[in-house]
C-alpha cells in the first residue's frame, strides 16, 4: 500500500460524510467547540481532493461529533436521515479501521 500521506481521495467519494455533517448541523444540539469542529470539517470537504490521511481524520471527527450528539440522536431522526447517518458511520469506519477498503 502506498504511503497514505501522498494518496489523494476525491471529496466526492466522501459524500456520505458530508451528508452526515449536514444532518448534525441541522438537527444536533452541539456546543460551540463541536460546532467549530463541524465547520472545519465541512470547509475541508469544499476542496476537490484531500489526502487519505485527511479523509481518515475527517472520519474520526465525524465519530466524535456523532458521539457528542448523544446516543439518542439517531433515534430522533426520520428513516431517511437515519439511513444517511448509518451510511456515513459505515464509511467512516471503513476509512479509519479498514483504509485499504475505503
Q: What is the pLDDT of residue 1?
A: 61
Q: What is the pLDDT of residue 5?
A: 78
The C-alpha atoms of residue 31 and residue 36 are separated, in whole angstroms, by 9
* Strand, helix or coil for residue 10: strand
| Mean pLDDT score, 22-31 | 96
Residues facing 10 on adjacent strands = 49
Q: What is the pLDDT of residue 3?
A: 78
pLDDT at residue 75 greater than cutoff 80: yes
pLDDT at residue 13 greater than cutoff 80: yes
* pTM across the whole model: 0.90
Amino acid at each position: 500500500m502506498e504511503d497514505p500521506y501522498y494518496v489523494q481521495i476525491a471529496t466526492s467519494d466522501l459524500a456520505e460524510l458530508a451528508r452526515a455533517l449536514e444532518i448534525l448541523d441541522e438537527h444536533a444540539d452541539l456546543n460551540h467547540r463541536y460546532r467549530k469542529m463541524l465547520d472545519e470539517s465541512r470547509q475541508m470537504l469544499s476542496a476537490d481532493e484531500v489526502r487519505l490521511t485527511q479523509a481518515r481524520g475527517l472520519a474520526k471527527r465525524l465519530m466524535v461529533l456523532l458521539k457528542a450528539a448523544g446516543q439518542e440522536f439517531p433515534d430522533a431522526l426520520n428513516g431517511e436521515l437515519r439511513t444517511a447517518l448509518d451510511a456515513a458511520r459505515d464509511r467512516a469506519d471503513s476509512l479509519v479501521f479498514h483504509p485499504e477498503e475505503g
